[in-house]
Every structure is written in C-alpha cells, then in structure tokens.
C-alpha cells in the first residue's frame, strides 16, 4: 500500500436524510499534518468524517487521497482501506473480551500487530480477559485505540477522540497522533476541545 501524500476535499456537499449538512466545503491536508475540525453540534463534523471514510455518499464535489506514487484514490470504498477509524461508537461487542476483539480485528484486517502488546500500550493488559460489557466508557475507547495501533493505516479519522478518556489516556492519544504525523500519516479529528497537538484548524459553520 502506497502511503498518501495529501487528502484533498473539493466543493463537498453532503446530505443526511433530506437535510443539507455541508455546502461547498474545500480543504487540503498534507502528510504529517493534523486537522482539527470544530463546529457547533449538527454542523456536520461526523458526516464529514464518514464521507472521507467512504461511509457516506457525496451529494456532489470530490474527496481524493493522493498517494506517494502519484495515483489518486477517489472511490469511497477504496479510500476506506486507508482509514483508521475511531467513531463515536467504539464497535465493541459486549460478549467478547478485549483480547478476543483484537485477535478478531487483527485477522480481519490482516495486519501483523501483536494484540497483547497493543493492550499493554493502552493500559488494558489487566482486563484483557474480561467481557467488554463490564468495561467503562473510557476503557472501551482505549480498546478502540488498541485496535488502531494494531496495524498501520495512514489516514486516521477520529470523532471526539478525547471525550471519554482520562488525563493519562488523553496524553497517550496526543503522543499517538504526534508519532503518526512524524511518520507521514494524516489525522483528521472532529473535536470540541483543543487536541493539544500542533494542528491545522477547520471550523465548520
């Protein structure tokens, strides 16, 4: 997989249900940059992230991920293959333990990472065999980040990544973002609070 050089959004119009949520939005993020997207509730932050991930159809406009090789990925489903996703739901099954989660996603995403190592990094090693229904909201978010660090996806899309995390968890996420940018990754995060890392701001109206 070529790593991306730039994410370019051009004249984007997004519709959810029958409601227009985004009117002619354009911006660029280059490799190594973090984009912090802010805006009032309902401004379309989540819709924008879903559109970038290929999970929401574009009404018009384009989103293209230019790769190092010079090729551009414009199809939503292909773009999804480059995405590391932290949505506002964590995608966690109450019946499965953290270790089972990571082992499943490691096999499903065909990535080589070590599940036990990812759990240790996110501070979940003690509860790796506890069914996820007993995890707190913050622990579930940590598990979502453990899934993210399992394999390399160059384009990280976060929806309120810090919302349920404690101070230590927030610092961990900041370090994670900085490290990701230093190796040429791109981060787009929708957030109400300052991320605490060097970032480009985008306010949706």
Partner 1 sequence: MSVATLAARDVRLATRAGGNAFLALAFFAAATTLVPLGIGAQLRLLGTVAPGIIWVCAVLAALLSLDRLFQTDFEDGSLDLLAIGPLSLEAVAFAKIVAHWLTTGLPLTCLAPIIALLFNLPTSGYGPLVAGLAIGTPAVSAIGAIGASLTLSIRRGGLILPLLVLPLLAPVVIFGAGAVKSAIDGFANGALLLLAAFSLAAVLLSPFAAAAGLRLNLHA
For partner 1, the binding residues (CB under 8 A) are 16-17, 50, 53-57, 77, 80-81, 83, 85, 87-96, 100, 104-105, 107-110, 147
Q: Least distance from C-beta 111 to partner 1, angstroms? A: 10
Measured from the CB atom, the residue of 93 and 198 that comes closer to partner 1 is 93
Distance of alpha carbon 94 from alpha carbon 155, whole angstroms: 28
* Contact indicator for 48, 59 with CB cutoff of 8 Å: no
Q: Which is nearer to partner 1, 5 or 83 (by Cβ)?
A: 83
Q: What interhelical angle do 137-150 and 167-182 show, nearest 10? A: 20
Cβ at position 52, least distance to partner 1 in Å: 11
CB of 91 to partner 1, least distance (A): 4
The residues with which 22 forms a beta bridge, in sequence order, are: 14
Q: Which contiguous run of DSSP H or E holds residue 133?
A: none
**Which is closer to partner 1, CB of 105 or CB of 158?**
105
Is the CB of 29 or the CB of 55 nearer to partner 1? Answer: 55
Q: Encoding tokens for residue 64?
A: 């293209």
CA 175 – CA 196 distance, rounded (Å): 10
By the 8 A CB rule, do 83 and 109 touch?
Answer: no
Min dist CB 188 to partner 1, Å, is 14
Minimum Å distance from CB 88 to partner 1?
8
- Please give the Cα distance from 88 to 101 (Å, whole number): 18
Compute the least distance from the CB of residue 148 to partner 1, in Å.
Answer: 10
- C-alpha 77/C-alpha 58 separation (Å) is 12
- Sheet containing strand 60-67, strands side by side: 19-30, 4-16, 60-67, 72-73
């Amino acid at each position: 997989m070529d790593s991306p050089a730039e994410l370019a959004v051009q004249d984007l119009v997004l519709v959810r249900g029958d409601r227009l949520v985004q009117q002619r939005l354009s911006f660029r993020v280059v490799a190594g940059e973090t984009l912090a997207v802010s805006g009032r509730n309902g401004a379309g932050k989540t819709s924008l992230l879903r559109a970038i991930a290929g999970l929401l159809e574009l009404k018009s406009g384009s989103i293209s991920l230019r790769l190092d090789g010079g090729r551009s990925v414009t199809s939503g489903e292909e773009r999804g293959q480059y995405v590391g996703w932290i949505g506002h739901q964590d995608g966690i099954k109450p019946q499965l333990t953290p270790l089972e989660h990571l082992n499943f996603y490691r096999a499903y995403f065909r990535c080589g990472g070590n599940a036990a190592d990812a759990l240790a990094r996110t501070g979940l090693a003690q509860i790796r065999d506890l069914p996820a229904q007993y995890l707190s909201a913050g622990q579930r978010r940590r598990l979502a980040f453990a899934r993210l660090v399992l394999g390399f996806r160059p384009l990280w899309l976060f929806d309120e990544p810090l919302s349920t995390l404690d101070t230590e968890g927030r610092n961990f996420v900041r370090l994670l973002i900085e490290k990701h940018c230093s190796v040429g990754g791109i981060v787009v995060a929708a957030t109400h609070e300052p991320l605490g890392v060097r970032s480009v701001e985008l306010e949706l109206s």
